Structure 1
Amino acid sequence: MVKTRLYLFLAVGLLAAACGNINPPIPPLFESDLPIDSLQLPPGFKLQVFAEEVKNARSLELSPNGTLFVGTRGEGKLYALRDENGDFRADTVYTLAEDLTMPNGVAFRNGSLYVAERSRILRYDDIEAHLDNPPEPVVIYDQYPDEKQHGWKYIAFGPDGKLYVPVGAPCNVCESEEEIFASLTRMDPDGSNFEIVQHGIRNTVGFTWHPETGELWFTDNGRDRMGDDVPYCELNRAPENGMHFGFPYCHQGDVPDPEFGAKRDCSEFTPPAYKLGPHVAPLGLEFYTADQFPAEYRGNIIIAEHGSWNRSKKSGYRLMMATLNGNEVVSYEPFIEGWLNQESDDVWGRPVDVELMPDGSLLISDDFADAIYRVTYDNSAM
């Protein structure tokens, strides 16, 4: 039975609209028409809609004060969500900016919101005091390439206090003379001391650091047009700077590229920590470090697979868990499935990013269903 949508028209939203605010808060939905009941979760887990009609929701960043910042890609918008009454549903959705160029990546530090456009990094200072009237951003760096293919960027601050920014390959597969492409870069929070720290990364749209060792872990999307089953996308580990992960010469650690593979041997490069699957498009990932989920989840990596775009039989469209034993991935199993109907090959959602909440629950963005979900665990209901 289709649920009735009940809108909460917040007084603040009506007042903002009446006063001519061009970006009034969007009233959220109490109920949802999304088929979340079709999702398969392990026993004791529950998924609910945290926010809906957040169009093209991509990267997530939660501030210490509880503001959830959300980037987009094709939509060009930047959002901020607030749960004011603590019911784990977004009460207010602010549109902080419009008409940005692929503002996929968001990061927060010392009261400032950092946003990655295709060729530059923006900073919105004291943003949480101005959600209904955002300031003009400061451009801290504007020397990234402007190529559109793989030009959208995921960003995050590392344990060293530096902002990490990837630069994808400007192609499906190519050998670029410019060192900046297929790399991971970093800079100080003010945009100074720019440097390239990793190479041979075709397109990472998600990375994080091990909570104990501080080592970098990241996903990478494999090249297309080598068939349905080759190459696999990758989960990679970088214990030090200056490593090379193979692109464009070698894929998944052991498959030479048909065009460029003769130039370099796969043994020259760092192999993936784990081969995730062909064309599953892994994006955001998070080490689970809280206590709400069962003990077997703690210290392992939850990965959002956005899903294939041109495979004859779709793959991905799910959340996975990589179980670690030290630095070794010992298993890679589904955590949440059902956005893809395996029988009909129909899709109603595409997970993008994951964000751990202070209570140990997990948020998931979905740029296809324009939603953000919250996953909780309660074994008392079992």
Structure 2
Amino acid sequence: MRKITARIIGAMALLAATGASAQRGLPPGDVTKVTHTTKYAEHLDFLPEMAKLLKVPEGWSVSVAASGLGKPRMMHLMPDGRLYVTRRDAGDVLLLTDKDGDSKFEDAVTVVAEFKGVHGIAEKDGWLYLCNNNELRRYRIGAGGMLEGKEMLFKDMPSAGQHPNRTMGFGPDGKLYISVGTLCNDCKESDREAATLLQVDPVSWTRTIYASGLRNMIGFDWHPQTGALYGLDNGGDAKGDNWPPEELNRIEGGKNYGYPFAYGKKEVDQSREDPAGNSKEEWVKNTEPSVLEFQAHMAPIGFRFFPAGTTLAGNGLVCWHGSWNRKGSVGFKVQLIRFSNGIPVAAEDFLSGFLKGKTRFGRAAGVAISTSGTVYVTDDANGVLYCIKQN
């Protein structure tokens, strides 16, 4: 009896071990060595004369449109020139007004308070939509841009974890899209909605996963001529100074963009375990490559296309928030991503000069572009809003 029992227990242990291995995936066969650097550029408080250190393309000028804003993040620019600004850390939304059309906002009022972690913002049909990591709300836009009648649409998105910066926008199809980042630096997620782009039905407010394998795609927008959706995804930390790249992806429904097993153009992350029942190399074959890659750790946040009818129509602007995970600091600027025949081809500096050696006096976060081509950029390090316009 004891021998039979021992055999049964041994068989059960073997099955359990085999099952555990299949569930977890096999660890990498080779040891992957990376150098992990933590280095923050020294912060400098903003002084008005610092704006003169900023560089923009020939024929453009940059000025301070507002200051003393705390930590402004995402924006929505209304047709009448009023500007809504979310402040994640303060948990509120500001409405800025340029009363005399001189590209300076003289008036700032709080239109939403006590919305902890509010970040994403969008507008449609007289409603202003706002979200934090869990909740999607909307408010009716009233007289003078003031907000009325809060409606809670849902409050069960995945917990924020390390990446609480939900962003959203209405697509050409009328659906609402919300980006949900991974819950930690390098997770194999248990929540299917993490590391995805969600599509939300604007009638039932039900949501589905539109695209997956997106580590933390904060900035995304639709090309004004082709209607194609593009997004900037943040690569992982602690994998070396120059890998993985930050990446621009063309986002299509039902596609997977590689995370957590690959970055860029299907570059396999050899530090990861194999997925259950497969190898990383085989799994990655069914994912989508990026369409343009950038220096690691620049940290893309806001991204917007210049609208039709503007000088730079069809080209995009990306805000590089700046590195903390690299020996030499990179980012801390805004770049223009050039498109040719609807295809991204190159990037060049559009607003730079915040980084001076080992110090920096700004971190670009959000971008908004008017129908005439005027650009607004938030700096969430010094609470400044910049205006960049053609001379």
Bin for the TM-score computed over the shorter chain: 0.7 to 0.9
The answer to which of 352-361 and 110-119 deviates more is 352-361
Match of 1:241 among 253, 259, 270: 253
Match of 2:174 among 161, 165, 177: 161
TM-score of the aligned structures, taking structure 1 as reference length: 0.84
2:140 matched to 1:103? Answer: no
Match of 1:258 among 249, 267, 270: 270
- Rounded to whole Å, the distance in 1 between the matches of 2:114 and 2:143 is 21
1:13 aligns to what? none
- Rounded to whole Å, the distance in 2 between the matches of 1:169 and 1:255 is 19
2:383 matched to 1:377? Answer: no
CA distances 1:10-35 after superposition (whole Å, capped 9, x unpaired): xxxxxxxxxxxxxxxxxxxxx96251
1:201 aligns to what? 214
- Rounded to whole Å, the distance in 2 between the matches of 1:371 and 1:114 is 24
2:226 aligns to what? 213
Q: CA RMSD in A?
A: 1.9
1:151 aligns to what? 164
Contact 1:292 1:361 in 2 (8 A): no
2:140 matched to 1:125? Answer: yes
Greater gyration radius: 2
Deviation at 1:147, TM superposition (A): 2.9
2:299 matched to 1:286? Answer: no
3-state SS of paired residue (2:162): coil
Aligned AA (2:194): F
2:108 aligns to what? 93
TM-score of the aligned structures, taking structure 2 as reference length: 0.82
Aligned AA (2:191): E
Contact 2:224 2:308 in 1 (8 A): no
- Of structures 1 and 2, the one scoring higher in RCO (CA 8 A, sep 6+) is 2
Provide closer, same or farther for how the CA distance between residues 162 and 290 of structure 1 changes in structure 2, counting only shifts above 3 A: closer
- Rounded to whole Å, the distance in 1 between the matches of 2:295 and 2:120 is 25
2:56 matched to 1:44? Answer: no
Contact 2:82 2:97 in 1 (8 A): yes
- Rounded to whole Å, the distance in 2 between the matches of 1:260 and 1:127 is 51
What is the aligned length?
Answer: 340
3-state SS of paired residue (1:185): strand
The answer to which of 260-269 and 91-100 deviates more is 260-269
Identical columns (%): 30
CA distances 1:308-359 after superposition (whole Å, capped 9, x unpaired): 1222211111111111223432221112210111xx2211101112111133
Provide closer, same or farther for how the CA distance between residues 97 and 298 of structure 1 changes in structure 2, counting only shifts above 3 A: closer
1:232 aligns to what? 245
Q: How does 1:292-311 map to 2 (within 5 A)?
A: 293=311, 297-311=312-326
Aligned AA (1:246): G
- Rounded to whole Å, the distance in 1 between the matches of 2:79 and 2:306 is 18
1:18 aligns to what? none
Contact 1:250 1:261 in 2 (8 A): no
3-state SS of paired residue (1:36): helix
Deviation at 1:50, TM superposition (A): 1.1
Aligned AA (2:90): E
Deviation at 1:369, TM superposition (A): 1.7
2:3 aligns to what? none
